[in-house]
Structure 1
Amino acid sequence: MSRKSKPPVALYSALADTTRCRILEILKVAPTPVHVLTEAFSISRPAISRHLRVLKSAGLVAEVKKGRENVYAFRPAKLDAARNWLEAIRSSDLSTGEVVEDAPAPVIEAAPVVVVEPVPAAPKTTRASRKKPVVIAEKPAIEPTPTPQAPSASQMGFDF
């Protein structure tokens, strides 16, 4: 694998859905027609077809037309690119080729918890209370201190 290989994003995107992963588990056993795959799920046949289209575009399944049926087969060799990339990223720095030791995970401290007391509801009015004005002193609202927010995905340069 070359040092400048790109991560197999299409494979990971295809594998990021539980339905598509389950489809691959079924196809691992044997090539299967779409109508049989549909029976294994509680979603519609068009939805299964959309999932199969994603898997096909990632190269994880092959489609063979047999008469009126579309039979899909799992292509496990296509996972090699993902496995190789993960091994390369796990064992070395792709830009320098240097081996990176297992570093401890960074410690992320939780933001402090702010407790805000609820404001009591206004008392119900009765006929007697309507005759005389009742003045209720309200507590001033407690402003919660702003908690630091983690940067959103769009702030980090990711496009989800």
Structure 2
Amino acid sequence: MFETFAALAEPNRFRIVELLRAGPRPVSDIGERLHLNQPQVSKHLKVLKEAGLVDVQPKAQQRLYELKAQPLRELHEWLERYRQLWDARFDAMDELLEELQHKEKGHGRKPRQ
């Protein structure tokens, strides 16, 4: 999990992952779309590959890079646990606010503006 976060923390690598969501792409296309030169793209793709986020498939003279689903699924599952925790906390806060507003109305106070 740490490798996934570390790899995605760099903005250009995050942008590459976002671009690859649409499907496999060669290094040259990634560079053109993100305005990066080939050595930069290759360096970022190497880090993403080492983190297990992308895979490479040779096709004629090109190498196509594509996302690997498993690390992203694992990240989603990990984040989902925290989303559930925060949703529960926000629900509890909403209930408390409703209770306070109800009490305020019951005592004839005007709500603060």
Residue 53 of structure 2 is aligned to residue 60 of structure 1 = yes
Q: Distance in 2 between the 1:17 and 1:79 partners?
A: 16
> Which of 9, 31, 34 in structure 2 is aligned with 1:16?
9
Cα distance, 1:87 vs. partner?
A: 3.2
Gaps of at least 5 residues in structure 1 are: 1-7, 93-100, 104-160
Give 3-state SS (helix, strand or coil) of 1:43's partner.
coil
How many residues end up aligned between the 2 structures? 88
The answer for the alignment partner of 1:40 in structure 2 is 33
Q: Distance in 1 between the 2:83 and 2:2 partners?
A: 16
Matched to 1:20, the amino acid is R
Q: Distance in 1 between the 2:60 and 2:47 partners?
A: 23
Higher alpha-carbon Rg: 1
Gaps of at least 5 residues in structure 2 are: 91-113
Cα distance, 1:54 vs. partner?
A: 1.0
| TM-score between the two structures when normalised by the length of structure 2 | 0.66
Matched to 1:62, the amino acid is D
For residues 101-152 of structure 1, the C-alpha deviation after alignment (integer angstroms, 9 at most, x for no partner) is: 749xxxxxxxxxxxxxxxxxxxxxxxxxxxxxxxxxxxxxxxxxxxxxxxxx
The answer for the alignment partner of 2:80 in structure 1 is 87
Cα distance, 1:13 vs. partner?
A: 0.8
| TM-score between the two structures when normalised by the length of structure 1 | 0.49
Q: Distance in 1 between the 2:61 and 2:43 partners?
A: 18
Structure of greater relative contact order (alpha carbons < 8 Å, 6+ residues apart)? 2
Q: RMSD of the TM alignment (CA)? A: 2.0
Q: Distance in 2 between the 1:41 and 1:84 partners?
A: 29
The answer for the alignment partner of 1:72 in structure 2 is 65
The answer for the alignment partner of 1:106 in structure 2 is none
Matched to 2:29, the amino acid is V
Q: Please identify runs of 4+ aligned residues in structure 1 that moved more than 3 A.
A: 87-92
Q: Distance in 2 between the 1:37 and 1:61 partners?
A: 13
Of 21-30 and 80-89, the range deviating more from structure 2: 80-89
Give 3-state SS (helix, strand or coil) of 1:39's partner.
helix
Distance 1:9 1:32, change over 3 A: same
